[in-house]
Amino acid sequence: MHRTGLARALSKSGYCSRSSANKLILDGRVRLNGRVVRDPEKPVRRGQDLIAVDGQRLAAAKKVYLVMNKPRGIVTTALDEKGRDTVYSLLPESQLWVAPVGRLDKASEGLLLLTNDSEWGARIASPEMHVEKTYHVQIAAMADEALIRRLTAGVNAASGDRATGSSGDLKSADCLRVKRAAIVRVGKKNSWLEIVLDEGKNRQIRRLLATLGIEVLRLIRIAIGPLRLGDLPKGKVRELTQEEKAALDQAML
């Protein structure tokens, strides 16, 4: 019999976030099989035990899959200790609870997926699935083919040296590389690159370029797997179509 903690069961149902579930339980607003439970880790038999919040029986929420065009200056989190605007400020008040799939840092923009299907979201974000993420990156440098070769070869962020190419080195946290890179256009003082990643190290593109002494001016995610940002206006959100969801599912096979 599969069991999970009460707070996790609430979160998995799509009712709320894990942190919100913890608070509901500690406040005595959650009943398990008719009894108030104040332990967020209380084991629950999913599919058998009855959970109620404020007297209302918990039902599995409809699965929701959203795509957002995240603007710069917005953080990808539910609550921000610094009081900054979050991606949740862009969602309608009537929206069922959803969680971001992966992250875009405050200065980055573009395509962001949100869902209450936590298992699906974890698979999309997992490096093991190798779902490609495509970015357009403006840099304060004149791009050339030597830079493209350096990006794909990889560098060691700790030492600044070229990656050795050994499997252990390439998998280390300090080794940063891209799957593919190409020059989109070159101006008089800056350039645009298209960069494709199939892993998800923290601030990977920014750290890689910083190691090479190159400043990132803008970073826009334009695609996740087959899903393109397209003409979705900045700050807007929409549901994935059935065809888009199916294409993303196929990309994980």
At 80-99, the pLDDT tens digits run 778 788 999 999 877 778 88
225 alpha carbon, distance to own chain's centre: 13
Q: What range does the domain containing 242 cover?
A: 65-128+226-251
- β-strand partners of 68: 112, 237
pLDDT-derived band at 159 (thresholds 50, 70, 90) equals: low
Does 135 score more than 80 pLDDT? yes
What whole-number percentage of the chain has pLDDT above 90? 62
Q: If you count them, how many residues does the chain have?
A: 253
Q: What is the pLDDT of residue 184?
A: 96
CATH code (residue 230): 3.30.70.580
- Is the CB of residue 118 less than 8 Å from the CB of residue 182? no
Q: Average model confidence (pLDDT) for the chain?
A: 88
Q: Is the pTM of this model over 0.85?
A: no
- Is the CB of residue 69 less than 8 Å from the CB of residue 236? yes
Hey, what amino acid is at 2?
H
Q: Which residues are catalytic?
A: 105
Does 167 score more than 50 pLDDT? no
CATH code (residue 177): 3.30.2350.10
Q: What is the pLDDT of residue 14?
A: 73
Mean pLDDT over 160-181 rounds to 68
Domain total of the chain: 3
3-state secondary structure 85-117: CEHHHHCCCCCCCCEECCCCCCCCEEEEEEECC
Whether 99 and 117 map to the same domain: the answer is yes
CA triple 49-54-57, angle to 5 deg: 35
Q: Which residue in the block uniquely carries the two structure tokens 């797997």?
A: 225
Helices (H), 100-241: 118-125, 145-153, 167-171, 204-211
